[in-house]
Structure formats: C-alpha cells, structure tokens
Copies of this chain bind each other. A is one copy, B any other.
C-alpha cells in the first residue's frame, strides 16, 4: 500500500518529498506542481514522482479548483484527498462551544454552536464536545477513524503545555489543561492555541493574509486582542501570551482592568465604552450589532463613538507599528464590520502616532491596513487550520 496521511503529516521537517508535498497541501489547500517545486526547493521531476506516488496511495487528488492567476492557461492543481481524513475545530468562547468539521482538502462539512452559559465548566465543555463530535460524524455518515486531529481555540493565553493562564476571560478555566479536557473525548492528536492566534492562522490560510508570511492581526470587539505572525509562524511567547495587545498600559493611572493592571488599551479601544455610552443615550441596552446598524444608517452619535474607538485603537496600533513595523495589519473582530467608519479614523490615527509615515517610504515599504475576511467564525476556522498546520500539538 501507499503512504498513510497521518504518518506523512507527522514526518516533520527533514521529511521525504512525499511528506513535504503533503505538508504544503495541508497548509495551503490546492497547489500547482510548479508552486510545490518553488515552495519545497525540489526539482520538478522529484515533485512529479512524489505526486504520482501520492495519487496511487489516494492521499491526494487533482483538484477541481483551477488557478487563473495571470493570463496563461490554468495549471492543474493538487489537494489532499477529501476522503483521506477529517479535522475537528473547537472554539471555546465566553458562553459557547463552537464545533466545525472539515476535510483535509480545506472544505467545511459542518458547523455547530452549543450554548453553555457564562462561566461554563471544563467538564461541561468536554462532555458537549464528545457528544457533538459523535453526532456530527453519524449525521455525515463519516467514520471518526478518519480524524487526523482536533484543534482548540481558547479565549485567553494558553501555556505551551496546554494550561490556560490566569489572564483568560473565562475565570473558571484558569490553570486547566486543555489536553485533560479533550483527551477523553477524542482519539486523535490535540492542538491548542489562543483564539486570536487561531484567527490569524485562519486569515493566513484562507483570508486577508494569504501569501503573507509577516503580519499583525488586531481584533476590536468587546475586548481587544491580536496575534503576530513572523515568517509564517505565530509568535506565541514563552507563556503563550504573545499578541495580547489589549493589555498594553496606555495610562498607568487609568481604570482597573480585569487583568489586574490599570489603563489597559482594551478599556478604551474595545467596543465596550461605545456600547455603554450608546446604552445610556438610548436609555436601553445597545448591543454591538445595533450600534453598528445605527452608525451605518447615519446616526451621528454612534458614528462618533466608533470614530473615537478607532482613534484610541490607532494609537495603540501605532505603538505596535513602532515595535514591529509590519507590512500588513489585518483588523478583525466585530469592530471591523463598521467598515470605513472605523477603518478611516483608525488608519489616520495610526499614521499620526507611528514612526514610519506613508510619505517617508516607497509603496513597497508601506504598511497595508486591511479588514479581515472573517469576523464571526475566524477562531473556529483557525482551530481547523491549527490541525492542518500541525502547530502546538499537546502531547
């Protein structure tokens, strides 16, 4: 028999040509033979032999997705065989467990959300995941034996060993190891990362950062978070707390933050102050979606609240610019749904506060600040991509 997908995926950096091709297809979806040669540095003839071997083993298929870049004839593309395996993504958000089933060719098969209420327990999440995963495989008529891995996106920093750090937004999970929660639920390798790091991986795999190896994701929602990608890898930090932009100290004498510090960026650059002011103004609770709708419809007060949020966020982002000088900043979170109402003042504020100004440098050295492609389910998609990219395996 030919090579098996799981062993090829585990073959690490110094792998055979087959393992290197599989690794790239798992990360990028459909890829042409020419691109595989460029990405691996292997000769075209070596790539052709590896592709033939992998097709014989039914690990890959010629992809329906064709490439229409440039003016030439579309090149044949290859992708992992959808039947060769499946991945589960799990996103543990504040009140919900979200679950996604996808095949290894990057196609989403199914997506579900289970409401567990505020401060749900790890046991509740593990149990719900076990039941839902079993149900999803039964509904789809698929065998759970094809599961190549489970990726978990968590709303807080996760230590390299899988332990949730204190600074998590679900206090009941501090100190819990993600592995202990999900190992009883699944017989497959478990991968885990912070939800913003997962969102960055989703944007890199399918979204606004495809083809970009160096970028920053900056999320504006009811919190502020983000991720840093350098040379195609997320900078997780020694304790898993890289990219915690919301906890930059903007004002050391400012209000107390849930993290125990004062004057964190999140207190003023998240949507919370805008929502609180709007709620006071309207005499009833205004949620994010309504604030965005009112602003889109032209309500000057709501527009100003979004612009003020953008101004402060842009100042924080300007500091990130001085520190990292990234080529691309992807703005995510539901704040990005405000479109130009947020993006224009944000970019203006970034320009005012950062070191390298647009006019200082030629086009190729300017930062691009763009909206993310995903807002609703970026972390969940990233959890799937975590498996496809085999990052931060918990063992």
**A binding-site residues for B, Cβ under 8 Å:** 13-14, 41, 157, 159-160, 165-167, 214, 228, 230-231, 233, 235-245, 247-249, 252, 259-261, 315, 318-320, 322-327, 352-357, 360-361, 364-367
Residue numbers in B under 8 Å from A249 (CB-CB)? 315, 318-319, 322, 353
Q: Determine whether the beta carbon of A244 is less than 8 Å from that of B355.
A: yes
**A156: min CB distance to chain B, Å:** 11
Q: Please list 5 pairs of residues, one from A and one from B, whose beta carbons are closer than 8 Å in the complex, sorted by A's number.
A: A160-B365, A214-B238, A242-B324, A247-B322, A249-B353
Contact A167 B355, CB 8 Å, known A159-B365, A244-B322, A244-B325? yes
A328's closest neighbor in chain B, by CB? B238
A241 with B165: CB separation less than 8 A: no
**Shortest Cβ distance from A257 into B: residue:** B355
Interfacial chain B residues near A235, Cβ < 8 Å: 230, 324
A364: chain B residues within 8 A (beta carbon): 238
Least CB distance, A40 to chain B, in whole angstroms: 9
Stoichiometry (number of copies): 2
Q: Which of B237, B261, B325, B326 contacts A324 (CB 8 A)?
A: B237
In the assembled complex, which residues on chain B have CB atoms less than 8 Å from the CB atom of A160? 365
Q: Is the CB of B356 within 8 A of A165?
A: yes
Find A238's partner among B41, B157, B325, B352 (CB 8 Å cutoff): B325
Asked if residues B167 and A241 are in contact (CB atoms below 8 Å), the reply is no
List of B residues within 8 angstroms of A247 by Cβ:
322, 355
Q: Once bound together, how far apart are the Cα atoms of A327 and B247, in whole Å?
A: 18
- Chain B residues near A360: list those with CB within 8 A: 165-167, 239
Nearest-Cβ distance from residue A318 to partner chain B, whole angstroms:
6
Interface centre among A14, A167, A320, A324 (most CB of B within 10 A): A324
For the complex of A and B, list the 6 residue pairs with the smallest distance between their C-beta atoms, beginning with the closest: A237-B325, A238-B327, A239-B365, A241-B325, A247-B355, A248-B319
A41 to B352, CA, bound (A): 48
* A301 CB, nearest partner CB in chain B, Å: 24
In the complex, how many angstroms separate the beta carbon of A29 from the nearest chain B beta carbon? 25
B residues within 8 A CB of A320?
323
Kindly state the separation between the CA atoms of A3 and B41 in the bound complex, as whole angstroms: 23
A243 touches B323 (CB 8 A): yes
Q: What residues on B are CB-neighbors of A239 within 8 Å?
A: 325, 356, 360-361, 365-366
Q: Are A323 and B244 in contact (CB-based, < 8 A)?
A: yes
Bound: A13/B14 CA distance, A: 13
Nearest to A261 among chain B residues (CB) is B353
In the complex, A14→B40 CA distance in Å? 10
Q: Are B323 and A228 in contact (CB under 8 A)?
A: yes
